[in-house]
């Protein structure tokens, strides 16, 4: 199990992981979406950061769950 987790996280941070291309995309989506909802720059920045971190962590947890299921079953 620890080996699998190590493989997962080493793949996650490797430079050839195409996921790196999704972070700027997600950042733009977060800022544009929140800027249509809020007016003050401080509110937009805070809400965008919250959106970005929430979605990134959500995808990470989902990816890890799928990965563990794929190696266990």
Partner 1 sequence: MTDPRASSRSPMAALVLGWLLPGAGHAYAGQRGKAVLFASLIIGLLVAGFALGGGTNILPNEWWYAPQLGAGGPTAALTPLSQYLAIRSPIDWASPLREIGTLYTAIAGLLNLLVMMDAYVTVAYPEEREDRAAHRAHRSDGKEGA
Number of chain residues interacting with partner 1 (CB under 8 A) = 21
How far apart (Å, rounded) are the C-alpha atoms in residues 26 and 21? 9
Which span (1-9, 22-30, 56-64, 65-73) binds partner 1, by CB under 8 A? 22-30
Is residue 38 near partner 1 by the rule CB under 8 A? yes
**18 binding partner 1? (CB under 8 A):** yes
Of the two residues 2 and 37, which places its CB atom closer to partner 1 in the complex?
37
Residue 43 contacts residue 33 (beta carbons within 8 Å): no
37 binds partner 1 (CB under 8 A): yes
- Contact flag: residue 15 with partner 1 (CB under 8 A): no
Nearest to 25 by CA among 55, 3, 63: 55
Residues 6+ apart with CB under 8 A from 5: 64
């Amino acid at each position: 199990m620890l080996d699998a987790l190590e493989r997962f996280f080493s793949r996650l941070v490797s430079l050839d992981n195409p996921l790196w291309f999704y972070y700027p995309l997600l950042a733009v989506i977060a800022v544009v979406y929140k800027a249509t909802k809020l007016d003050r720059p401080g509110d937009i920045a805070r809400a965008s950061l919250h959106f970005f971190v929430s979605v990134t962590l959500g995808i990470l947890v989902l990816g890890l769950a799928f990965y563990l299921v794929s190696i266990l079953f």
